[in-house]
Copies of this chain bind each other. A is one copy, B any other.
């Protein structure tokens, strides 16, 4: 019995959050984020990996644009993970993921991630249950590797959208000329599987939680983006980063001559 039941978790903001005040707070956090990212880059010690997971139309692209789009792109990289290529299929499922692990000083955002290999592949029964269990272990080992061996701080967000809100957003894509480029016929079929997806997610939360999951109510973009920005801000602040001092003058042969 999984400890998280998605059906019992809110997909909207708690009552005390008003839209306008929250948006105002979000703007202040954006400024802080810009400074913190600059400091992360300058200190060149830690790195940040942000994993964005969620159903279609849960708003992953919007988070990337509004939360990470305000930072210096020199220090932020976004990597989407779609259906694997033939070359990627010829390797273990973490091979293509590991290549995009963040370098020191960098923020790396994964738009979908290694979790697809225990979600979409499981829902469609493309792999057996034994493989899924082994992948959970491999994912835990992998996240431990990044955490312990490169000072990488991992934030895993699940964007929790209601089936009703999702349906409405998918419909919008068939009507709004600025959103039609996102239309994918298959999304409607996938949306019908939402209960199976939720079950798969609940199992992920249960089995891959050494790095904890943050479940974000995602029906309102303003609240979702505020929560993510705030979490990133708090995480970066907790690192107690400092700008490096000037290095001590070298006292070597070059200076003596």
Contacts and interface: CB of A to CB of B under 8 A. Distances in A.
Interface of A: 44, 87, 90-95, 98-99, 101, 103-105, 134-135, 138, 141-142, 144-146, 148-150, 152
Copies in the complex: 2
Contact of A98 (B98, B103, B152): B98
A124 B135 CA distance: 36
Contact of A104 (B90, B101, B150): B90
A212 to B, nearest CB: 20
Nearest to A99: B99
B103 A149 contact: no
Top 3 nearest A-B pairs (CB, nearest first) are A92-B149, A90-B103, A141-B141
Given A135-B149, A138-B148, 11 more contacts: A90-B103, A90-B150, A92-B145, A94-B145, A94-B149, A95-B101, A98-B98, A134-B148, A138-B145, A138-B149, A142-B145
Contacts of A44: 90
28 contacts: A87-B103, A90-B103, A90-B104, A90-B150, A91-B101, A91-B104, A91-B150, A92-B101, A92-B145, A92-B146, A92-B149, A92-B152, A93-B149, A94-B98, A94-B149, A95-B150, A98-B98, A98-B99, A99-B99, A135-B149, A138-B141, A138-B144, A138-B145, A138-B149, A141-B141, A141-B142, A141-B144, A142-B145
